[in-house]
Amino acid sequence: MSPRVSVLLLPLVFAACEELRTPQQLPPAVLTGGPASGSPLRAAVEATAADFANQGQRLVGHPAETALALARFEALALEVDNRRAWPSLSPSLAYAMRIARNENRAAMGAAQQATPADVIRALGLAAQKLRANDRAGAAATLQPPTFDPGGEVTLDRLGEIGPLPAAEQAMSALVREVRRLDLDSGWDGAGPWWQNGAPGAITDGLGLGY
């Protein structure tokens, strides 16, 4: 495994582990979609902020969409921590994202000590199974030690997710920071992958909001 997790959307989330770069281990269609307009990273920020806005009302009763929103949030929290695309972000934002991520994990039953890549991969696979009306398959992807107790209990939590105020506030702050960076030309980092996507990477799924 690579010690550094470079995350944008799910493909860049999955880049946390070298083995996750192999196409056979990426959850397929649920993580992909039509071409996103503009920056995939910006699209992910906007989609995730919209998901958690208004106390997350749009997610209630929609476990597949909730799983994807929580996966996107994990991805963005890592991106903020790594500061590759956003080296001039306010340090307080990374702290707010970590607090919100912990709140999200507590709400869905993800282990606090689980690696982000494991959480994101499991949520992506669960969303895929749910979209295929395979609840048993979805439950099977949400197992200990990544989820506790996992399975049907975690699926029920995804379907009944309540307000996640820390995530809503953190995403609102991130949206404001992205707009500030647009004005200040603050998008620096390791190449243009946050704008165009890495070659061969799946960059659209987490940005489309499903």
pLDDT at 28 over 70: no
- The ranges assigned to domains in the chain are 10-192
Biggest CA pair distance of the chain: 48
Mean pLDDT of all residues in 97-110:
96
Query: What are the angstrom distances between the C-alpha of 122 and each of 35, 42, 70?
Result: 24, 24, 11
Mutual angle of helices 63-82 and 91-108, in 10-degree steps: 150
Mean pLDDT of all residues in 11-36:
34
pLDDT of residue 5: 37
pLDDT at 26 over 80: no
pLDDT of residue 82: 80
**Is the previous residue joined to 163 through a cis bond, with omega within 30 degrees of 0?**
no
Beta-carbon contacts of residue 183 (< 8 Å; ≥ 6 apart): none
pLDDT of residue 20: 30
Q: Using an 8 Å Cβ cutoff, are 105 and 34 in contact?
A: no
If pLDDT is split at 50, 70 and 90, which confidence band does 178 have? Answer: confident
pLDDT of residue 187: 53
Percent of the chain with pLDDT over 90: 48
Q: List pLDDT tens digits, range 116-166.
A: 989 999 998 999 999 999 999 999 999 999 999 889 999 999 999 989 999
pTM reported for the whole predicted model: 0.73
What is the token pair recorded at 88? Answer: 């001039």
Provide φ and ψ at 147, rounded to 5°: -125, 145
If pLDDT is split at 50, 70 and 90, which confidence band does 90 have? Answer: confident
Q: Where are the beta strands (DSSP E) in the chain?
A: none
| CB-based burial label for 54 (10 Å; 0-12, 13-18, 19+) | exposed
Beta-carbon contacts of residue 173 (< 8 Å; ≥ 6 apart): 93, 96
Element (H, E) at 155: helix 151-159
Average pLDDT, the chain: 74
pLDDT of residue 186: 54
